């Protein structure tokens, strides 16, 4: 029973970061109709920005979160404005491949800049934890969860209240109508992609406290972001949050699996991508209408 | 509609006949390559032929039915591991490897294809990507497949190595002619009907699921055949080789560059890109992936309709810019 609660808590703690990561992915997908295959790479870049600031200037990782957000926002804005806007109306394959190519480019640049060595961000307090009713909670992970919830809430308020947020939501409903009402499409597309990249950067900064860093660390988070989006529903803040927490819990329990099939020993902790795929397929098949049946234009 | 088809580089259902004739001519020349007794050239062109076969495998579903798979490398891996497992059981003949790989890939494609081909657009793409990643994950954890350590295969003696070249040549030719024949048959027209308007096709009596799964399975067989020949030629298979990211995405870029939904496009694309990649790889050993990423970005930005489109373009620069502007916001 104690193990059950420990798994549950671990899942919720992990789910917060997943929610932030998936929120950026979900915005870009829901509003621009782009599957950003470089999203995982943006998360990696956010983590490395944090690592660099921590190593060079001893900056606390939590203080790096807004910096990583800002840098990645600017980067995302320029990328969309300069490159992706050129082919955003092409068949989906174009943006799929374009973001994949960008991801390959950035991962290899990161390999040159930071090498393939595994890095870690470990401030003095990183090992501290407390125990409630036999369940151990690391302080950093709890603080990460709080930060993640804060970011999600801020994002929600901004989308609902601000003028630009309204423009983004208007475009999600009808690009043509939004354009007629005076929304500058190219600019708002770039802002949206920038936000997606910024949220990925923030997620990367938060991740750097609990995961080790290497240039290919982003790929599993890309797949997880996708699963969280499908779980929670597209383009909505609440969806990403609920999906992130649910997925975090599912993964936490699944990683405890230890099965032997036909003499083959399989342990859940080595099969993260398989678990993500199974969850994805189950959701897609169990909900044949709604999210799944929607044909992309 | 006609203009749209031409705009996409699709003169007819098999694409430009001239391009196909040229491709066949190059294939005929390539048959004579081993006579040069140049091991390096043979290896390079065996790779090109392998990518041609994989591009044909992707093109059948992606180009003809419009369903963009982002995980076809899984079939390459199935083919490669079929040969590897057979070799581990002391069966070392391409005549056994290839048929077994074809059957396994087709079965896997049917079992997986039926549920996931109900997904459209992004959902299908990411489901296939998920399958490719999960397959690599699984192969890393299965002892039967050697886990992350991989499996070694028994090869033919060095002086008979051209056997692998001829085998890959035969696979590529079969894919090329197969695509041509399939495109001109009832199947090809059903595929294109699904691409142009799936709902309308269904109303007209084309049963989409059946044809989509057929296209997926046939493409899977082409890709698996390439994998089944590659594994013994390489002498070693592990998850990072069998499910390599490059092998997953290269065929897509090649099909686009050469012309999607044509019978010559995948071969032309493979010839250009695999050749270019070979040069890059020899010049920039460590960072050639960087250039590969840049090539993808450039192809998508400047040649989203392929090179055959560019050759057949009437109206020069103005038309090219106008076509590109259609994709911009």
| Contact call for A97 and B116, based on CB within 8 A | no
The one-digit pLDDT tens for each residue of chain B (329 residues) are: 444 444 444 457 778 788 888 999 999 999 999 888 888 899 999 999 999 999 999 999 999 999 989 899 999 999 999 999 999 998 889 999 999 999 999 999 999 998 888 887 778 888 888 888 888 888 888 888 888 888 989 888 888 889 999 999 999 999 999 999 999 999 999 999 999 888 899 998 888 999 999 999 999 999 999 999 999 999 999 998 999 877 888 899 899 888 888 899 999 999 998 888 888 888 877 777 888 888 889 988 888 777 777 777 777 788 888 888 888 88
Which of B63, B126, B280 best probes binding to A when mutated, by most A CB atoms within 10 angstroms? B126
Domain assignment of residue B242, given as a range: 2-325
Q: How distant is the Cα of B175 from the closest Cα of chain A, in angstroms? A: 23
The first and second tokens of residue A230, run together, are 């499908």
Q: Which residue of B has its CA nearest to A109?
A: B290
Q: What is the ipTM, given to two decimal places? A: 0.82
H or E stretch including B107?
A: helix B94-116
Tell me, rounded to whole angstroms, the distance of Cα A226 from its chain centroid: 9
The 3-state secondary structure of chain A reads CHHHHHHHHHHHHHHHHHHHHHHHHHHHHHHHCCCCCCHHHHHHHHHHHHHHHHHHHCCCHHHHHHHHHHHHHHHHHHHHHHCHHHCCCCCHHHHHHHHHHHHHHHHHHHHHHHCCCCECCCCHHHHCEEEECCEEEEHHHHHHHHHHHHHHHHHHHHHHHCHHHHHHHHHHHCHHHHHHCCCCHHHHHHHHHHHHHHHHHHHHHHHCCCCCECCCCHHHHHHHHHHHHHHHCCCCHHHHHHHHHHHHHHHHHHCCCEEEECCEEEEHHHCHHHHHHHHHHHHHHHCCCCCCCCCCC
In a domain, residue A293? The reply is no
The first and second tokens of residue B107, run together, are 């079965």
Q: B60-85: per-residue pLDDT in tens?
A: 999 999 998 989 999 999 999 999 99
Residues 120-179, chain A: which have Cβ within 8 Å of B?
A: none
CATH of the domain at B208: 1.10.3470
CATH of the domain at A67: 1.10.3470
Report the number of distinct structural domains present in chain A. Answer: 1
Domain assignment of residue A64, given as a range: 2-286
For chains A and B, what is the number of CB pairs under 8 angstroms?
151
Per DSSP bridges, beta strands A258-261 and B236-237 are unpaired
Residues 1-60, chain B: which have Cβ within 8 Å of A?
A: none
* pLDDT confidence tier of residue A289, bands split at 50, 70 and 90: very low
HSE toward the beta carbon, residue B151, CA cutoff 13 A: 26
- Nearest-CB residue to A186 (from B119, B293, B329): B329
Q: A224-250: per-residue pLDDT in tens?
A: 898 888 888 776 788 888 889 988 988
Per DSSP bridges, beta strands B151-152 and B236-237 are antiparallel
Residues 226-285, chain A: which have Cβ within 8 Å of B?
A: 226, 230, 264-267, 270-274, 276-277, 280-281, 284-285
Return d(Cα B297, Cα B274) in angstroms, integer: 16
Inform me whether the C-beta atom of residue B253 falls under 8 Å from chain A C-beta atoms.
yes
| Contact call for B300 and A219, based on CB within 8 A | no
pTM of the model: 0.85
Q: Are A198 and A64 in contact (CB under 8 A)?
A: no
Within 8 A of B244 by CB-CB distance, chain A residues are none
Report the number of distinct structural domains present in chain B. Answer: 1
Residues 61-100, chain A: which have Cβ within 8 Å of B?
A: 83, 85-90, 92-94, 96-98, 100
Residue B229 has a CB neighbour count (10 Å cut-off) of 31
Local structure of B191: helix, strand or coil: helix
In a domain, residue A291? The reply is no
Map tokens 């077994």 to a residue: B100
Q: Which residue of A has its CA nearest to B135?
A: A274
| Contact call for A277 and B131, based on CB within 8 A | yes
| Contact call for A83 and B296, based on CB within 8 A | no
């Amino acid at each position: 029973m104690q193990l059950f609660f420990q798994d549950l808590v671990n899942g919720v703690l992990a789910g917060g970061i997943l929610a932030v990561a998936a929120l950026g992915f979900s915005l870009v997908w829901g509003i621009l109709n782009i599957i950003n295959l470089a999203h995982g790479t943006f998360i990696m870049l956010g983590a490395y920005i944090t690592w660099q600031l921590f190593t060079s200037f001893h900056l606390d990782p939590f203080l790096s979160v807004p910096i990583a957000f800002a840098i990645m926002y600017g980067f995302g804005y320029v990328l969309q404005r300069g490159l992706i806007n050129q082919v955003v109306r092409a068949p989906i394959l174009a943006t799929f491949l374009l973001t994949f190519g960008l991801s390959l480019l950035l991962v290899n640049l990161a390999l040159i800049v930071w090498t393939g060595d595994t890095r870690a961000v470990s401030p003095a307090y990183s090992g501290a934890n407390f125990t409630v009713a036999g369940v151990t909670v690391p302080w950093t992970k709890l603080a990460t969860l709080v930060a993640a919830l804060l970011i999600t809430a801020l994002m929600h308020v901004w989308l609902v209240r601000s003028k630009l947020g309204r423009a983004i939501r208007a475009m999600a409903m009808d690009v043509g109508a939004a354009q007629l009402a005076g929304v500058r499409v190219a600019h708002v597309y770039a802002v949206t992609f920038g936000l997606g990249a910024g949220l990925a950067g923030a997620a990367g900064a938060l991740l750097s406290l609990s995961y080790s860093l290497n240039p290919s660390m982003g790929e599993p988070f890309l797949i997880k972001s996708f699963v969280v989006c499908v779980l929670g529903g597209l383009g909505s803040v609440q969806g990403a949050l609920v999906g992130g927490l649910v997925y975090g819990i599912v993964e936490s329990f699944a990683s405890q699996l230890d099965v032997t099939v036909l003499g083959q020993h399989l342990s859940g902790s080595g099969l993260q991508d398989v678990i993500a795929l199974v969850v994805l397929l189950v959701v897609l098949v169990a909900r044949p209408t709604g999210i799944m049946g929607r044909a992309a234009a | 509609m006609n203009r749209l088809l031409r705009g996409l580089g699709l003169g007819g259902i098999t694409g430009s006949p001239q391009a196909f004739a040229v491709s066949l001519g190059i294939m005929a020349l390539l048959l004579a390559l081993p006579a040069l007794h140049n091991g390096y050239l043979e290896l390079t062109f065996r790779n090109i032929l392998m990518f041609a076969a994989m591009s044909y495998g992707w093109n059948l579903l992606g180009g003809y039915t419009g369903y963009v798979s982002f995980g076809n490398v899984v079939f390459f891996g199935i083919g490669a591991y079929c040969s590897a497992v057979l070799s581990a059981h002391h069966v070392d003949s391409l005549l056994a490897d290839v048929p077994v790989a074809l059957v396994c890939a087709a079965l896997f494609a049917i079992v997986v294809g039926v549920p996931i081909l109900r997904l459209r657009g992004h959902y299908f793409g990411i489901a296939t990507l998920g399958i490719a990643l999960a397959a690599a994950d699984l192969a890393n954890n299965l002892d039967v497949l050697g886990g992350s350590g991989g499996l070694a295969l028994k090869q033919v003696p060095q002086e008979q190595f051209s056997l692998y070249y001829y085998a890959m040549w035969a696979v590529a030719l079969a894919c090329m002619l197969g695509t041509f024949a399939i495109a001109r048959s009832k199947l090809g027209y059903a595929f294109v009907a699904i691409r142009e308007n799936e709902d309308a096709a269904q109303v007209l009596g084309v049963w989409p699921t059946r044809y989509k799964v057929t296209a997926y399975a046939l493409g899977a067989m082409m890709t698996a055949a390439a994998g089944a020949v590659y594994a013994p030629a390489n002498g070693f298979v592990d998850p990072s080789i069998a499910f390599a990211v490059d092998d997953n995405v290269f065929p897509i870029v090649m099909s686009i560059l050469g012309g999607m939904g044509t019978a010559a496009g995948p071969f032309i694309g493979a010839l250009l890109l695999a050749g270019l990649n070979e040069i890059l790889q020899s010049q920039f050993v460590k960072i050639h992936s960087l250039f590969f990423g840049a090539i993808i970005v450039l192809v998508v930005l400047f040649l989203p309709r392929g090179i055959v489109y560019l050759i057949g373009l009437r109206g020069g620069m103005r038309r090219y810019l106008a076509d590109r502007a259609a994709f911009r916001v």
